[in-house]
Amino acid sequence: MAKIAFLGLGVMGYPMAGHLKNAGHDVTVYNRTATKAEAWTKEHGGSFALSPREAAQGCDFVMACVGNDDDLREVCLGDEGAFAGMIAGSIFVDHTTVSAKVTSELFDIGKAQGISFVDAPISGGQAGAENGVLSVMCGGDTSAYEAAEPVINAYARICRRIGESGAGQMTKMCNQIAIAGLVQGLSEALHFADKAGLDGRAVVEVISQGAAGSWQMSNRYETMIDDHFDHGFAVDWMRKDLGICLDTANETGASLPVTALVDQFYKDVQKMGGGRWDTSSLIQRLRKLD
């Protein structure tokens, strides 16, 4: 079993760190709000640290799941950052959805210190984290990935190396691009069914068994019909991710017209006060237009 630090105990990181402890690893956690780290140790055992550097000292692996590029730099760099406490040969695994730019930056800094950096963003939402069935898409050196994969499998249903550093983040962008269009399509279908006087549940029971079926349909249609939008990944975070997608598309020359449009629809949801609603709340925008 490995000695592991886990940085960031949000709705995803908290259960992910728990799976590592349940798998028998020696886990030290760090969270910007120390009371949350203390609560985790009371629930799971292990220990907590007051800085990323302290958490990372002597660890084989340091896993992170924080908010954005700036948060990731903050936990990695500086006198109290994790890199300052890591030893040569150790591996940093980043589960945050961030830009490929910051991934490349940290990969190079780590390499200069003899530290491997694997970008490993995740998909599956809060339920996936709690149930240990996340999809993990990775980029980085093959040897570092192969060492990290058995550890990551504590909370993964599938874990794959897609390519060199940054490939994991690029794959996560593909994931978010696909989700944006799916959720908007499902929202429009349910809205149309309601306007046509149809039973939305009956409609989904039928169409979900055909070509229209998707994870979003199976897991979100009922809560969308019932106006419940507290099921995980928030609109604010989705807009952060879609911003990364659109910025990268401008750099690569990719055309993302649907993604750009849905990003603006999510902006409308934010203006409605729904920034902390989950991403299926796109349907509320359509209802407001009635």
Q: What is the CATH number of the domain that holds 181?
A: 1.10.1040.10
138 and 252, same domain (yes or no):
no
120 and 221, same domain (yes or no):
no
The pLDDT value recorded for residue 128 is 94
Q: What is the CATH number of the domain that holds 64?
A: 3.40.50.720
The 3-state secondary structure of the chain reads CCEEEEECCCCCHHHHHHHHHHCCCEEEEECCCHHHHHHHHHHHCCEECCCHHHHHCCCCEEEECCCCHHHHHHHHCCCCCHHHHCCCCCEEEECCCCCHHHHHHHHHHHHHCCCEEEECCEECHHHHHHHCCEEEEEECCHHHHHHHHHHHCCCEEEEEEEECCCHHHHHHHHHHHHHHHHHHHHHHHHHHHHHCCCCHHHHHHHHCCCCCCCHHHHHHHHHHHCCCCCCCCEHHHHHHHHHHHHHHHHHHCCCCHHHHHHHHHHHHHHHCCCCCCEHHHHHHHHHHCC
- Tell me the sheet residues that pair with 117: 92
Q: For each of the chain's 290 residues, which pLDDT tens digit applies? A: 899 999 999 999 999 999 999 999 999 999 999 999 999 999 999 999 999 999 999 999 999 999 999 999 999 999 999 999 999 999 999 999 999 999 999 999 999 999 999 999 999 989 999 999 999 999 999 999 999 999 999 999 999 999 999 999 999 999 999 999 999 999 999 999 999 999 999 999 999 999 999 999 999 999 999 999 998 789 999 999 999 999 999 999 999 999 999 999 999 999 999 999 999 999 999 999 87
In Å, the largest CA–CA distance within the chain is 64
From 111, 130, 163, give the residue that closes a domain: 163
The pLDDT value recorded for residue 29 is 98
From 163, 180, 198, give the residue that closes a domain: 163
196 and 145, same domain (yes or no):
no
Residue bearing tokens 């499998």: 153
105 and 189, same domain (yes or no):
no
241 and 275, same domain (yes or no):
yes
The pLDDT value recorded for residue 231 is 80
Q: For the CA atoms of 162, 129, 38, 57, what is the dihedral angle to 10 degrees? A: -20
247 and 263, same domain (yes or no):
yes
- Tell me the sheet residues that pair with 283: none
129 within 8 A of 157, measured Cβ to Cβ? no
Report how many domains make up the chain. 2
18 and 151, same domain (yes or no):
yes
Strands 122-123 and 134-139: antiparallel
122 and 75, same domain (yes or no):
yes
122 and 104, same domain (yes or no):
yes
The residues annotated as belonging to the active site are 172
145 and 174, same domain (yes or no):
no
From 111, 138, 163, give the residue that closes a domain: 163
Q: Residue 92: phi, psi to the nearest 5?
A: -100, 125
Q: Any idea what the Cα angle at residue 113 is, between residues 14 and 23, rounded to 5°?
A: 30
